[in-house]
Amino acid sequence: MLSIVECIPNFSEGRRTEVLDQIVEAIKSVPGAVLLDRESDANHNRSVVTFVAPPERVVDAALAAAKAAAELINLDKHTGEHPRMGATDVIPFVPISGVTMDECVALARACGERMWSELGIPVYLYEKAATKPERENLAAVRKGQFEGIRAEISTNESRRPDFGDARVHPTAGITAIGARPPLIAYNVNLGTADVDIANKIARAVRFQSGGLRYVKALGFELKDRGIVQVSMNMVNYEGTPLFRAFEMIKREAERYGVAVVGSEIVGLVPQHALNAVADFYLQLEKFSEDQILEHRLAGAMEEAEA
């Protein structure tokens, strides 16, 4: 079995295509790193890149991207809807095959150490790599964003980084690096320009406020489209499937006389998550994933090659 790690770095740039081009080229320049996806959002001013690599090369590729981002992105000049604290805002490592979560934790910590020693960018460890329980949640780590962390990091012991001095990089900020299972970035768009409605629905749906387990949510304004969005991270799509979050948002929106006008998946999504959506809405009886043509074909080809 091939050993494969997925890495999904998020960058605080979603408007300048040429910047993301250079970051992506830095990743592709590392032998063994394979780009799977890139997606940018101008309103959020943020990009999500997905690549895979063997464990021995994945940190090299992540650092190559972070180096390019540090040279090209200045957080002092950055504005956007999405919270951010670093030019390379977050680097999660996800075990895909032949790799354990503990090994991804070790990769995250190695990446954090090198991020500081080679690039001078301090690092918080989060999720499974966190050194403190209060740093498992990315939202808690990023609280205050770049400006707030910059003001507190040297005087507030709780804001001290896991790697690096108690100061942010002057233009590249600070980066969160962690290890986690696969998640789905899923957004639901609402037919209103009232961001307060999106915020109220986000509070209703997210687990931290008493909503759905395994859901993190924020409300955003999409100014160029004249609508708002409930933006979610589905951190366990089997525990809380996509359709359950969608249906809850739809019902909450109806309370305000607002319609759902669309939804989107940012980055990649496991096939199993979409199968569950089809099963729910089509009310399929005795449905099995073995009935999916591509699934059966892949299995047959593996048997033929064995």
The per-residue pLDDT for 294 is 84
The per-residue pLDDT for 288 is 86
Tell me the whole-structure pTM to 2 decimals: 0.85
- Alpha-carbon distance of 45 to 225, in angstroms, equals 15
DSSP state of 243: H
The per-residue pLDDT for 101 is 96
- Alpha-carbon distance of 178 to 233, in angstroms, equals 15
Which structural domains are found in the chain, ordered by start? 4-179 (3.30.990.10), 184-269 (3.30.70.670)
Q: Is the distance from CB of 64 to CB of 27 less than 8 angstroms?
A: yes
Task: Please give the full DSSP string across 269-283, using - where no structure is assigned.
Answer: --HHHHHHHHHHHHT
* Low-confidence stretches of the chain (pLDDT beneath 50): none
Candidates 88, 87, 91, 63; CA nearest to 75 is 87
Q: Per-residue pLDDT tens for 34-66?
A: 999 999 999 999 999 999 999 999 999 999 999
The per-residue pLDDT for 289 is 84
The per-residue pLDDT for 165 is 97
At 292, is the secondary structure helix, strand, or coil? coil
> Quick one: tokens of 62?
């992540």
Active-site positions read: 82
Residues whose CB falls within 8 Å of the CB of residue 225, separated by 6 or more in sequence, listed in order = 43, 189
Q: Is the distance from CB of 119 to CB of 67 less than 8 angstroms?
A: yes
What average pLDDT does the chain have? 95
Candidates 161, 144, 106; CA nearest to 128 is 106
